Amino acid sequence: MTSFDFIEATVAKVHAAYLDGSLTCRALCEYYLKRIEQLEPRINSIICVNPKTLEEADRFDAYVKERRRLCGALHGIPVMLKDNFNTTDMPTTAGSVALKGWVPQKDAFVTKRLRESGALILAKTNLHEFAIWGETVSSILGQSVNPYDPTRTPGGSSGGTGATIAANIGIVGLGTDTINSVRSPASANSLVGIRPTIGLVSRAGIVPYSLTQDTAGPICRTVEDAARCLSVIAGYDPDDAETAWGVGHVVEDYAKYLDENALPGKRIGVLESLFGKEDVNRSTNAVMSEAMKVFEANGATLVPARDDIDQSWLTSETSVHLDDFRRDLDSYLRGLPTDWSVHSMKEILDKGLFHPFSESNMRDAMKLEVGTPRYLEKMYNKIGLRTRVLKIMADLRLDAMIYPHQQQLVCKCGDSQRQRNGVLCSSTGFPSVCVPAGFAPDENAPVGVPVGMEIIGRPWSEALLISIAYAFEQHSHFRKPPIEYNNVRKN
């Protein structure tokens, strides 16, 4: 039996153990498969497990044995992949019974990059159906739950990835983010989530929600693992024209910017209008107040940013997620085989192939059109918002700005998320990193309910944001695993 400590394992620790012979990829995958067997009935977050996991693990072990080296940046690293990334060896359902059994003929660009780096896709994870909201309820699997508090959702839409990574199933997670959907599960599960600048990561081969705002990003337990993953998936893809904007901005290795001494001299804006002012916001604000002290204690300057950017205005007046939804989903569905049961959102609705939780959003989307005066008004507002954010940062000479990802705690199962601030980055297309900020006490959560802090920067500033996030992480160590899931048998 290996003496390797599986709980909170990282890419670097796993790779060191592979090379010194104290761990095999098979042993690591067997451990995670056992955790899936024991934990999945409780968190309900995995749609499909890779049936060839151990076969693939053996190939990675043989490679190390024969060559005494690793095959790539994510050699033998088990990945939890949100089930809206195309995979040629497993179904891609986007959480919908309308796509049950659909196996694409081509991997998504991100999936391909992961495989080329040596990653092992361990499982496809649950998501809010078609990634359209934030509670992680799907018609293919139902409600996923938060491993810190089973009465709460794991955020969303990438909540299945968030719940499994938080519960120490897999090393690296991947999600997609249209409004909040990488950072929401990161916040709700004491994880690190990166939403990159639009154009840094290809969306080709991902079931779309809004191609104006969609992107993909890592959800991991540490900033270092998230940075390693971003290095793998970033890059130009001819099949996604938006990535042409990223040419010249992609950093080959974001992990080079992991500097625990990055805070001295940094000016960090506190975007005060994105902190809630109601009783329901008190617990989040208390956690944030303590977390922000880490910046000042380690050489950064906190600068009040008193602009009146309002979360509800952002959602209603700058976000075109529902406006784009029917057009962009229909474009994907038209690529399904001619004998498939649906090829449009209308057919999904007409045939009742949806979870009741999703119906209102889909019916609202059916009423909207791209290119209408109302749509163009929102797009115009986006342009003004980008300039407004950059001007705040320029006037105050800021390196980054911070605020709670969600002004109130992640919602209970059966309820809806409220006051999520991720829309600021999804509407501007700017990058942000969400990091654990601490826990709010709750009787149903032995560790507490996680609270996440977003760190937003200028376009293409991922390296700077990663350095700030890493230094904050190293001086705070706020992440804690959900303790009731740590005593699972290893064999």
**Cα of 416 vs its chain's centroid, Å:** 19
Largest separation between any pair of C-alpha atoms in the chain: 65
Contact status, residue 409 vs residue 449, Cβ threshold 8 Å: yes
Alpha carbon distance 179, 176 (integer Å): 9
277 is catalytic: no
Residue 269: which H helix or E strand, with range? strand 267-271
Query: How does DSSP classify residue 409?
Result: P
Angle at 31 between CA 25 and CA 37, to 5 degrees: 135
Residues in the chain: 491
Alpha carbon distance 205, 253 (integer Å): 24
Contact status, residue 198 vs residue 224, Cβ threshold 8 Å: no
CA distance to 72, 180, 373, per residue, from 110 (Å): 15, 19, 35
Alpha carbon distance 127, 84 (integer Å): 8
- Among 59, 69, 54, 104, which residue's Cα sits nearest to residue 84? 104
Alpha carbon distance 207, 121 (integer Å): 18
231 is catalytic: no
- Among 421, 297, 417, 307, which residue's Cα sits nearest to residue 357? 417
Active-site residue identified among 96, 138, 181, 427: 181
CA distance to 224, 227, 253, 377, per residue, from 467 (Å): 10, 10, 12, 36
144 is catalytic: no
Active-site residue identified among 117, 144, 157, 461: 157
Amino acid in position 470: Y
Task: Give the residue numbers marked as catalytic.
Answer: 82, 157, 181
